[in-house]
Structure 1
Amino acid sequence: MSLSCPLVSAGDFGSVTVQGAVEFSLRYRNAEELIVTVEQCQDLAYANPRKQRTDPYVKTYLHPDKSRHSKKKTSVKKHTINPVFGGETLKYKMTMDDLKGRTLNLSVWHNDSRGRNVFLGQVDIDLKTWDWGHETLTWYNLQPKVNSIYCIKVVEFIQKETPRGSLVHCLPGVEVHVWLKEARELRKLKPQGVDSFVKCYMLPDTSKKSRQKTRVVKKSQKPVYNHAMVYDGFCAGEVKEACCELTVWDHNKLSNQFLGGVRLSLGTGQSYGKNVDWMESVNEEIKLWENMLSSPDAWVEGEIPLRSSMTPRK
């Protein structure tokens, strides 16, 4: 079953196709202040397509607080879909304990002289799992609002069971098959498009044996990979302890750039009885994994939104 995939997100006034990315960084200083540094945006949508005009600015909240006190804004940049804010800072006075219960919502808007502002995209950062050692400026894909669907057709799975020869000793006989079909609306890093590939790990195994990759698809924001991967060696019941981590990268000779990713698991926070930071799947990610577990020997297809950031594995 394929899911329909509208790529339009409505703002307060009008609607635009959410696209592009925003570059910013987070750091915590003096045990009392969160500093959000906004550098620039790239390839934003036109808020007024007829006039080919966008006057963008960036706004932040610390959810669940949506009050005026929580709202911070940058300056407005006129007539550009590639605004440069030059390191403008948005600051919050708050203890680390309070921050860990919050989600940073950073959104980009078109400023209208009549107050009819148009939503251009957003990024949500869960501060509970944020790596506070990561303070460098980083690009994040802009996403539509939660009630819209920004889809990437990611994977299909089949769990195949083979006969076991013993009830005492566990003979590995369960396989997970991953069929990576395609991606859509990847962030445009180069004029001719990105040279993308997908990397897969079946956690908790982070060895070279676990790592599998697709070929590089060049100069495309809508790459078709059509690549199959097989992970075997599971015993009965062990697949529910695993997490399939898929990340999309722009291939570069010097350093590959992260474009997004997903983690498919039950999202329990634990694997084999131990607390792990990567077992944090949500929403469609959990649903697809549950559907696979309940449908052995059958393909289960899904379209999953790419995360704009991934919690680093410890």
Structure 2
Amino acid sequence: MMKKLERVSGPAVVGIVLTGALFIVCSVLAILAVIRKLRRKSSLELKSPTTDIQIAVMEKGVGIHKPTTERRRVQKVYKTATIASPPGSSPIGGALSAGYDQQDDTTEGEYDVDEDLDDDDGGSACTLIDEKENSKPPMTFGTLHFSVKYNFEKNALTVVVQRCENLISRTGCRKSIDPYVKLQLLPEKVHRAKTRVLRNTDSPIYNEEFTFFGLNYNQLQGMVIHFAIISFDRYSRDEVLGELLSPLSMIDLAQSDQETSLVKEICTRQKVQSQGRGEVLLSLCYQPATNRLTCVILKAKGLPRKNIMDLADPYMKLYLICNGQRIAKKKTHVKKHTLNPVFNESFVFDLPANIQGLEGVSLELLLLDFDRLTKNEVVGRLELGPNTLQDSAKKQWSDICTSPRRQIAEWHKLQD
């Protein structure tokens, strides 16, 4: 009997081993296939429009606030909407959608104002224009509904941004508008805030409440609320649809916590008329030994205002031009809220080795007004070189050529 088992056991053991190995391999492959299928299914379930929208919002910085001091504290409240949301509207970066009427989802908290509004995000407001332009009715881009109240016990001003109606982009299109509202108190521009973004609607409903603390009643009489209505763009710079000013002196805030509702037309930005571009003081020095040109931007004065309430945020750009081509550029720091900035910044340009005695060399200077909401505006220009037409610039350039190694300072009027 034992001999019989020994004869059969050899091939049988080999067959059993091969069969078992094949079974194990097939089982492992089946398990891996099931795991892969489950992972793919779970990843598809995680992908949703809401996730994509939230990522885009974080990239643009919408709805991000930082803790701050008592003086700059802003309390933001999402209020319950009283009218239905327009079709196709949905929030970006907000916890409460327009037209949402469940009281349990109303959120309240303290937020700092957004630093992008300086702009930038508040830029220039509706400004003075000349008499010819003033004779034409201003172009409107919809209406803004908001309310204002003041609490004497807390020294707090509350602004409720309710909704916008019939918004139009500058191209005249009502579609593909993702609007939000930025607001700030002029002229200090210390108290600032913004709403969430609503998608694909020309009549967004916000019902968001902003409370600005640390404001005495007497201060309010000289303040103006500046609203900027902006369309969100995740791929490029946001588009400013329009803006408006609401002086607090024109609103009755004498009764504590008495809310005043207002409806105002949104107007386009209008250029301010200026009698001059201002002046700049700069010093030049040419060093023949090192073949270097040094330019010191000292200060500027008499810069034009954006509007009655707002000041400029000026800075300067410098371009070194050799034989008609820009070969180097530099810029100063931005000076906030001033028409008479003091820079005191020095810039050294290394001239090409094939250029001697400043032949074919010139400097181009631009004074710009920094604005985070839109493109920075050029306030004035100045050209320094052998072919300049301005007398002061021609004199200073001639002086540094004939008197090298000397710092020569001169005031220049900025040109358009």
Do both proteins adopt the same fold according to a TM-score greater than 0.5, normalized to the shorter chain?
no
Using the size of structure 1 for normalisation, the TM-score is: 0.44
Structure with greater Cα Rg: 2
Structure with more helix by fraction: 2
Using the size of structure 2 for normalisation, the TM-score is: 0.34
